[in-house]
Structure 1
């Protein structure tokens, strides 16, 4: 397994391939909202297995808050702890930047996954791109 960090100004082709397959094709997120302005300021992570891009995610700071997002693993590579690895590495990056807390807009179907990784839900569930979401936060360990 190889891990590659990219800045928003780098070639994000591999990250986009994974995101389109998971979010647009699998979950029916409209293609025109999958790529956004955040991509240009975020740091992106791509996980490769045998040279194939299989998972991705991004971390960014906006308005003094740190966020993770666009976390996706190709269907045939799930249940191999790649998603957990991505989240842990993105959290580590945010904490290295000085974050005391990191937020995520989690799909409600992934609530338990994120809870196991230390995230705590807050607020009411809401709809984002036709999919149920809930805001969650993880705190830096003291």
Structure 2
């Protein structure tokens, strides 16, 4: 998978389309909650297999953290380590911009995935868009 920072309108729309498919259509999150005020200022990443957009994520820098958000892989492409590749790409960008910590709000059902990548739970469980989440952090080497 080739992961890029989305810079063109078409690439950003590819990221949005994946998010709508995964979060709105598949998980039932409202479009108003999914597409928010941070989209205009965030860094968007898109993972392509040949010419097909198959994964997306959003990266913001908040306080001392790279904040990893909206990490999504099309359901037909899961189980191929694309989520892990998206996380690793965001970690690289975060380090390259001089940040040493990553933070994300993980859906509880994905907790094991993030723990396998070195993330640790730092919050109690909470609801985001009606879905149970926990906040996780990782020190980036």
1:55 aligned partner: 55
- Calculate the TM-score normalised by the size of structure 2: 0.93
Deviation digits for residues 90-117 of structure 1 (CA, Å, limit 9, x no counterpart): 0111111111211000100110100111
The within-5 A match list for 1:33-112 is: 33-112=33-112
- Superposed counterparts of 1:113-128, under 5 Å: 113-128=113-128
Unaligned runs of 5+ in 1: none
> Do structure 1's residue 18 and structure 2's residue 25 form an aligned pair?
no
Distance in 1 (alpha carbons) for counterparts of 2:66 and 2:87: 13
- Secondary structure class of the residue paired with 2:98: coil
CA distance in 1, matches of 2:3, 2:95: 18
RMSD across aligned positions (CA): 1.2
Question: Match of 2:132?
Answer: 132
Q: What secondary structure, in the 3-state scheme, does the structure 2 residue paired with 1:66 have?
A: strand
Q: For residue 44 of structure 1, report the CA deviation from its aligned partner.
A: 1.1
Contact 2:3 2:86 in 1 (8 A): no
Which consecutive residues of structure 2, in runs of 5 or more, have no partner in the other structure?
none
The number of residue pairs the alignment matches comes to 139
- How far the C-alpha of 1:64 sits from its partner, in A, is 4.1
Runs of 4+ in 1 over 4 A off after TM superposition: none
Bigger drift between 56-65 and 89-98 goes to 56-65
CA distance in 2, matches of 1:65, 1:84: 19
Match of 2:28? Answer: 28
